[in-house]
Amino acid sequence: MTSNQELLNWVKSVAGLTKPDRVHWCSGDAAENDRMAAEMLESGEFIELNPQSHPGCYLHRSDPGDVARVEHLTFICTPDREDAGPNNHWMDPEQAKAKMRSLFNGCMRGRTLYVIPYCMGPIDSPLARCGVEITDSAYVVANMRIMTRMGKAALARIEKEGGFVRGLHSIGELDPDRRFIMHFPEDLMIQSYGSGYGGNALLGKKCHALRIASYQARTEGWLAEHMLIVGVENPAGETHYIAAAFPSACGKTNLAMLIPPAAYKGWKIWTVGDDICWMHPGKDGRLWAINPEAGFFGVAPGTSATTNPNALAMLNRNAIFTNVGLTADRQPWWEGKDDNTPVKDWQGRDYDPDAGPAAQANSRFTVAVSQCPSYSEQAEAPRGVPISAIVFGGRRERLVPLVMESNSWAHGVLLGASMASETTAAATGAVGVVRRDPMAMKPFCGYNFADYWQHWLDMEQRVDHLPGIFHVNWFRKDTEGRFMWPGFGENMRVLEWIIDRCKGKASAVRTPIGQLPSVDSINVSGLEISAQTISDLLKVDAASWGAELDEIRSYLESYGERLPPALLSVLNHVSSELAASV
Ligand code: OXD
Ligand code: MN
């Protein structure tokens, strides 16, 4: 099994508590995967998709009450409540452990306990970190095999290094009243009960690579962020890497594998990651990033040959689909995919367009990053890729310009800290409501946001050649409610401006809220868009911004004494410049 005594003892004690019928140490090899898939086909957890059109693909239907992350049931458990901060739900660690102990007691009777050693990041990267997830869900094992470097190699690394993050998961009874996702950052430990879904159950993702890793990153002097990583290669063969943070379901996956428009002949986009980015200060004074994941757990609805042809191309083999519809010839289907007609909806009922969509709004695909046509070879580089620009963004119908650059690093931290977005279906709760989502980390930061912003500010002392910080908004609407910017592949034009700014090439106009492109510095060749629309996309309405800054101030001040004074002083500076500009 393993030479790591700590791991062996932990597995033994978990088995003693949960009382499974069997314990299986996952090797991660193909034979194991095939065997488990066959068992899941037998039990109905997997439904085989058309082997001609979708070889190696399966459909999984989750419990209808278990279809998204549950932020209200997700806790950070630190001895001092203040360390979790107002951005997190908090529970006393001893109380949380006792609660979880009683839930886990005997919960795996009749089930198999799977031990999943995994590595977040390239297996030989010094920037990678390991964990072990114990679960009673075969579906979780199959997903973890795609999403992480799982099995023998990860176990060998754990045995060499010693340390690992401990994650214990059981689907329990899938009862929403007995569902908790607990994090114990100081113990590098996660305990999750009562959900089999995505970020609640695949513990390497949000729980480890963001909540626990953000805590580790602060202690060790790096950044664990909710960001995609993309390489932009120009016709001269020069590649710049961009890390970009957007709240859930705001198009990160689409941007990560964008196809440049026809006007960008010779340009290429290289996908390193679509959701999580770990950035470390390098010896050369730059920030170097890895994608800790090995797969995509992407939102299916809306993914089509128009919005994301690269995604569609990678989804015809070795993929798991969760909560999508099914066509008569057993192909996966979701709203916006193509003009096939589904015969079954995501719950396996006969499809009735009047009874709701065929695919659940947060239905997902799980697929290896390496299957993406724009997959970057550099995604495997142990030292990571050097980041030229950090981009923050949100879904805002009004106010926020298409793109702007921060006036300084600290101002960039303010841009990130004051991010806001209209909510989507990725989490339970109301959709379309504006909420503050600093750095897109609101549901994912494992400690007090005030300390997190200080950590971001401190990077200025740690890194000699910091990336530029930008803010984008693809979602601004006109007075008739139509999107003003075409988005998708055309976002390339904004990426070009960003990279040119990093190279000191493109021109910008300095405003109190940031540096905006001069109207003719965004390349619109081949794009049907009026000069008026471009200027509207870049409009800064001082009165509305005054109100926005007031809201940002009261949001930031809700963090009380821990709020970094430097952040407040940048905000004061922006406010007074804005007031002077009218
Ligand atoms: C995700 C999310 O699943 O952010 O990536 O919700
Ligand atoms: Mn995400």
* Pocket flag, ligand 1, residue 171 (CB < 6 Å): no
Q: What is the CB-side half-sphere exposure of residue 240 using CA atoms within 13 A?
A: 21
Pairing of strands 403-405, 468-472: antiparallel
Q: Quote the pLDDT of residue 519.
A: 84
429 pLDDT tier (thresholds 50, 70, 90)? confident
Report whether pLDDT(470) > 80: yes
85 pLDDT tier (thresholds 50, 70, 90)? very high
Q: Which amino acid is at 465?
A: H
CA distance 560 to 556: 8
Nearest to 226 by CA among 10, 437, 11: 437
Question: Which token pair is 218?
Answer: 């602060």
Known active-site residue 250 = yes
- Indicate the length of the chain as a whole number: 582
Cβ neighbours of 313 (radius 10 Å)? 14
* Tokens 């400690």 -> residue: 447
CA distance 20 to 108: 4
Q: Quote the pLDDT of residue 426.
A: 67
CA distance 277 to 117: 21
CA quadruple 120, 369, 151, 145: dihedral, nearest 10: 110
pLDDT digits (tens, 9 = 90+) for 294-350: 999 999 999 999 889 999 999 999 999 999 999 999 999 999 999 999 999 999 999
Angle between helices 30-43 and 138-147 (to 10 degrees): 140
Choosing from 26, 57, 77, 250, the catalytic residue is 250
435 pLDDT tier (thresholds 50, 70, 90)? confident
Residues 6+ apart with CB under 8 A from 156: none
Q: Quote the pLDDT of residue 113.
A: 98
248 pLDDT tier (thresholds 50, 70, 90)? confident
Report whether pLDDT(71) > 90: yes
Q: Quote the pLDDT of residue 139.
A: 98
* Pocket flag, ligand 1, residue 157 (CB < 6 Å): no
Give the pTM. Answer: 0.97
The closest-lying atom of ligand 1 relative to the alpha carbon of residue 299 is 3
Contact 100, 182 (CB under 8 A): yes
Q: Quote the pLDDT of residue 434.
A: 79
Mutation probe of ligand 1 site: the residue of 147, 274, 293, 297 with most atoms within 8 A of C-beta: 297
If phi > 0 it is left, if psi is from -120 to 50 it is alpha, else beta; for residue 569 that is alpha
Question: Which token pair is 27?
Answer: 């090797």
Beta bridge partners of 165: 131
Question: Which of 66-75, 307-316, 426-435 has the least mean pLDDT?
Answer: 426-435
Mutation probe of ligand 1 site: the residue of 69, 146, 147, 442 with most atoms within 8 A of C-beta: 69
pLDDT digits (tens, 9 = 90+) for 491-511: 999 999 999 999 999 999 999
| Radius of gyration (C-alpha) of the chain in whole angstroms | 23
* Pocket flag, ligand 1, residue 411 (CB < 6 Å): no
Mean pLDDT across the stretch 532-559? 95
Q: Quote the pLDDT of residue 431.
A: 72
pLDDT digits (tens, 9 = 90+) for 3-20: 999 999 999 999 999 999
Provide the mean pLDDT of the chain.
Answer: 96
The closest-lying atom of ligand 1 relative to the alpha carbon of residue 68 is 6
423 pLDDT tier (thresholds 50, 70, 90)? confident
Burial group, residue 100, by CB count within 10 angstroms (0-12, 13-18, 19+): buried
Mean pLDDT across the stretch 255-282? 97
**3-state SS, residue 335:** coil
Q: Where are the alpha helices (DSSP H) in 381-448?
A: 409-417
31 pLDDT tier (thresholds 50, 70, 90)? very high
Q: Considering only CA atoms, which residue is closest to atom 1 of ligand 1?
A: 248
User: What secondary structure letter does DSSP report for 54?
Assistant: S
Å from CA of 227 to ligand 2 middle: 8
The closest-lying atom of ligand 1 relative to the alpha carbon of residue 440 is 4
Q: Which amino acid is at 572?
A: N
* Pocket flag, ligand 1, residue 248 (CB < 6 Å): yes
Q: Quote the pLDDT of residue 433.
A: 77
Cα dist from 208 to 174, 286, 326, whole Å: 22, 25, 33
Question: Which token pair is 515?
Answer: 């540096």
Mean pLDDT across the stretch 269-287? 97
Q: Quote the pLDDT of residue 300.
A: 95
H or E element in which residue 468 lies: strand 468-472
Mutation probe of ligand 1 site: the residue of 227, 275, 395, 439 with most atoms within 8 A of C-beta: 275
Contact 183, 444 (CB under 8 A): no
* Pocket flag, ligand 1, residue 297 (CB < 6 Å): yes
Contact 572, 579 (CB under 8 A): no
The closest-lying atom of ligand 1 relative to the alpha carbon of residue 426 is 6
CA quadruple 17, 20, 24, 25: dihedral, nearest 10: -10
210 pLDDT tier (thresholds 50, 70, 90)? very high
Å from CA of 141 to ligand 2 middle: 20
